[in-house]
């Protein structure tokens, strides 16, 4: 019986160590809002690409932290005019880029942490393959 208790204790200790190690590793890999070792490091919230159909739009949902400055860059394939609109969680327009190109930039420093919507609108007669980057 003593051997079984010793084995159970050893198993429990191993399990606790493994869980502790996994939690520490996960925390060290998680995005952090603390100062990084490089003050010029770029933190991407979105770094992706997609196609927006002709005369249509895509919506991107993103959570932004209050007091942090973010830049939104949409860079299309050159075939059509893209416009970008940024809305807060209440549907208020925060910023937009509506020139006649498919390279768009919006910037925001939210006063509060919240959910924001980015609308990428295609005014052309063909689809546009674009990249979208949201970073701080």
CA distance 72 to 81: 17
Indicate the burial class of 59 (C-beta count within 10 angstroms; 0-12, 13-18, 19 or more): exposed
Per-10-residue mean pLDDT, the chain, length 136: 43 42 39 52 93 98 97 98 97 97 97 97 98 97
Regarding beta strands 70-75 and 128-135, do their DSSP bridges make them parallel or antiparallel, or are they unpaired?
antiparallel
Residue 72 CA to residue 93 CA, distance in Å, equals 14
Q: Is the pTM of this model over 0.85?
A: no
CA nearest 111: which of 84, 133, 134, 89?
Answer: 89
Cα dihedral 44, 49, 55, 60, rounded to 10, equals -40
Looking at residue 27, the DSSP 8-state letter turns out to be H
Inter-CA distances, 77 with 40, 59, 82, 128, Å: 28, 18, 10, 6
Read off the tokens for 18: 């493994």
Collapsing DSSP to helix, strand or coil, 14 comes out as helix
């Amino acid at each position: 019986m003593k051997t079984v208790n010793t084995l159970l204790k050893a198993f429990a200790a191993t399990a606790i160590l493994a869980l502790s190690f996994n939690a520490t590793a996960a925390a060290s890999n998680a995005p952090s809002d603390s100062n990084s070792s490089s003050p010029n490091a770029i933190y991407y919230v979105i770094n992706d690409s997609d196609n927006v159909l002709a005369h249509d739009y895509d919506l991107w949902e993103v959570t932004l932290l209050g007091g942090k400055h973010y830049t939104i860059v949409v860079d299309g394939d050159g075939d059509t005019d893209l416009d970008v609109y940024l809305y807060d969680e209440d549907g208020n327009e925060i910023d937009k880029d509506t020139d006649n190109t498919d390279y768009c930039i919006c910037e925001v420093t939210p006063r509060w942490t919240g959910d924001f919507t980015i609308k990428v609108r295609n005014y052309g007669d063909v689809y546009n393959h674009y990249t979208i980057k949201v970073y701080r």
